[in-house]
Amino acid sequence: MTKPYSVGLALAAAMVGLVAACGDGPTKAESVASRAPTVSTPSSAVSSTSTPAVVDLDPANYEYGADRYRFALDGTPLRECVIYPSAGTNVECSVAWPDGTSAAPVQGSVFDGPPNAIVLAPDGFYPLVSEGGPPGAPLLPVNSRVSVDGVVCTAVDGGVECANSVAGFSFIDGELRTSGPTSKPPVVETTSVDDPPPSNASGGTDGVYTDGTGSVRPGTVCGAATGRQPVVEVRKGSISCTDAYAVIDRYNGLPRTDEFGRSNIRQFDGWTCATRSAAEAAEKGYGQTCSSGDVEVATPYFAR
């Protein structure tokens, strides 16, 4: 015999099941979903869009003469930049301009032709036909930069970016882009041995490449405009191209003997001169050096 309270419990259980079937509880699909495992994505599988940090380097590592900084960029062909003061602070980099771009030559008709460099001046940028400089500039690694008097140059993957407060440019993977106003290059006067160049307020000849008797700034490569061999670079101090030639020619005219060692260290008229080995010359960028006091001249080394 069934007890009355047993019947009541069974009826209550049946009513609960009926209410659940009418929609007050989770559906079958919802129940399955609630039991599905949660899949987490490993952090290593998430791609990062952050750019590498840029490292600021000491400009002194690239100092090249008085207040002059020079560096090379990774890649082929070799590209170089020079940061230098001239009516403010300028930067010149070797780049490829689009066809049809006009440019002022460095000096007279000797350097006429399509532009091969860009100059970022305090008031804008302009194309230039540059005679370049001797090899051996230290490399500015990718994702590093140097800052000099308001000019910032950053080596990036495939090229370089430079800017000041007015204008800027980038040369990346062979494409040149510019921003800001265009400027005009300074007028460069030509000179000859018999016609000394005009001097500036400090007695030097900033911006003038010459074979004359006027003093030239550090970084000038004497003879580059006239085809003289060997060319002579003024690395430090103040001296004319004429006197720089005379020192190197005097040194090369001395008879070479084993008495002075492989470096052929010689002294004359207050000058001390030496010749570097081929390996040293390739590393430093110059083969012969002569110094007297705060003046130093050298013959640039060009790899063969």
Task: Pick the closest to residue 121 from 78, 188, 169 (CA basis).
Answer: 169
* Rg, C-alpha atoms of the chain: 35
What share of the chain has pLDDT > 90, as a percent?
A: 30
The model's confidence at residue 143, banded by pLDDT at 50, 70 and 90, is very high
Task: Pick the closest to residue 172 from 183, 156, 187 (CA basis).
Answer: 156
99-123 pLDDT, tens digit each: 888 877 654 434 557 888 899 999 9
What share of the chain has pLDDT > 70, as a percent?
A: 64
Task: Pick the closest to residue 62 from 87, 91, 86, 88 (CA basis).
Answer: 91
Residue 42 confidence (pLDDT) above 70: no
The model's confidence at residue 134, banded by pLDDT at 50, 70 and 90, is low
153-183 pLDDT, tens digit each: 999 999 999 999 999 999 999 999 999 999 9
Helix (H, G, I), strand (E, B) or coil at 184: coil
- Which residues have C-beta within 8 Å of that of residue 56, sequence separation ≥ 6? 144, 145, 146, 147
Helix (H, G, I), strand (E, B) or coil at 295: strand
Average per-residue pLDDT in the chain? 73
The predicted model scores a pTM of: 0.51
Which comes out higher in pLDDT, residue 95 or 200?
95
